[in-house]
Structure 1
Amino acid sequence: MSSTFSIRLPKELLKRMRERKDVNWAEILREAIRRTLNEPILPITIENLICSLRDSNKWEMLLCLYLKAELLSPHYIVRNLEILYPGMATEIRDRLGSTLREQGIDPNLSGNFEGKFLRDLVKEGLLMYGVYDKFEREVRDKLNKESWDVNKAAWLLSQYFIEDPYREYESALWIEPHSFIRTLGIMLGRENVTDIINKLVKIGLVFWDYYSSKAYSHEMIRCADYARSIFIELSTNKNYLNYSTDLLRDENFLAFLKWLSGEYDIDFRAVIEYEEEKAKEEFKGSKPFDEILKELVRRGIVLIGYWPHRRRVGKRSSMPPHWVYKLTPIAKREILPRLLIEALSKLHL
């Protein structure tokens, strides 16, 4: 996992740094900070491997190495690589596996070194030696060239991933796909959005993964660790949030908020999947619930989450799947304070 911080520099020094296009200043700063803190260095084999692949421009193998270190399911490495490099996925994986074995590194990246998991050390090395920087730049460039629908999908993902853009760290940036597929389908007015999700994978912004435990088994859409800063920036972008002050007096929006707060306060409402239609009957607006839901989703105000089925494990009971309705984080920040001010103004305090 990675975080960012900024420093203040004299203008002249910054100008001279920018003139040196051949220097990766982020990499130099990371190394200087690490040496100052006397942090333990990476195993020399991992350091040499990453630098060798980087210097020989074998970026597809470095991305495969990242996927090996990041994904929970090894089977999904090939699935993602096939989207990124059609027809070459197995070859890339096998070439990297051979290279790892030649270096004496387990191809599955199992094991540890000086108390750290090998997977974490690999990701640390990719960050330290500028690979994350390269991947992030490429993702930004590709996203800028993509369609409005793809960029809107990326923005929607940011609303799932980033609850608070001003919090230093978001723990787990992944979602169960049912929620995103349903919400994105409504937002774009499309029956099938798999091609949009796969475009986000091809860009390198997210990846498919699979989680399996005694209690849960389900697919995941996982944020690329090097793309965290991109999602944080997207999460505050108001271009995809369509609202006006009239919304604060709209009877159907207020009815939806009242429906939303029916069980768990205004933060969210979870509805058992097979009881969803029954729950909708509690909505007291002048228009049908589904019509209002579609409008609010398309305006970037509401998103739909999903809690997958949980099997019974030990003393913990099973739980059926739930749909989870909630306001997007940006809508909560932008609309709810105005709604409160509107309500207070009517009290004539």
Structure 2
Amino acid sequence: MQPPSRRTFLALGLITLTTACTGTDGTDVATKAPTPDPDTPVRLRAVTATDTLLAAYDALLATPGAQTALLQPLRAETAQHRAALAQGLPAASETPTPSTTPTATPTPATLAALERQTAQSHLADLDAARPPLARLLASVAAANALHATTLGAPSDQPAPTAPPTPATPTPGPALPALQKALSAEHAAVYGYGVVGAHLPDDQQRADARTYYAAHQAQRDTWQRLLTTPTPAAGGYQLPFPVTDAPTATKLAAHLEIRLSTVYADLVADLPAPHRRTVATALRDCTLRAHHWGAPTAPFPGIPDPLPTPTEPH
């Protein structure tokens, strides 16, 4: 039997050094302290912003003549957002702190503005979050935007724009997800052609034309990020027969809901420089699905309301 080589000893030394620094339970052997979760500051900021929003809902609901039927469901969804965002924070309080209580009674208009402000705060932290939390933040921000619209704010859907050209190509692991988003946009463009053909020549058809153009622009955005983008198929199988205006609007809602799921996943798959672009696409799909009569959901694009965060390494 040959004696171990110098390379073997070096490898063994590296293994010994590595295991001496970090225990198998994720703690630092020297300090016995758990490895800090990099998402904790992001979650704390998101919970604080949501507490402020909850306090505003409570203040408005406590006023005489409050629109309870409108406000209570939105408040309930906001509480669900808080529970998901606080997951993994053992010290998170169960109720808003006194500092989050509004000094003046809000109105539906100011509450709508606060919903949008909360959405922006979540989006501002997208790049700092790990993929599962980034996906959750984008979904909650889309729900905030829908809440603002429900409260009477005008729909916030600027025309899609191309993301900044990355200094390096999009990482390989993200390419299948990006190709999937492109394929979904190809299908949406085809689907909206069918939708428009079955709508009367009124505001609905005008809206369909606008959304058709938006999906073309979003399709072009993803094509610019791909070296070899997937081409559109000659045709696509519709999920159900479209024969009149009601089935056409049902198809439009279906397309937007499907895309919202694709974009929620894409937020987690793409690198940080592109997350805001994808989160904006998720928001726009959420608002368009609502426009076409789709039922609302507290977490647009996410079937599981409480995603389990990945353990830190």
User: Higher strand fraction: Structure 1 or Structure 2?
Assistant: 1
Give the TM-score of the pair, scaled to structure 2.
Answer: 0.29
Higher relative contact order (CA 8 A, sep 6+): 2
TM-score, with normalisation over the residues of structure 1? 0.27
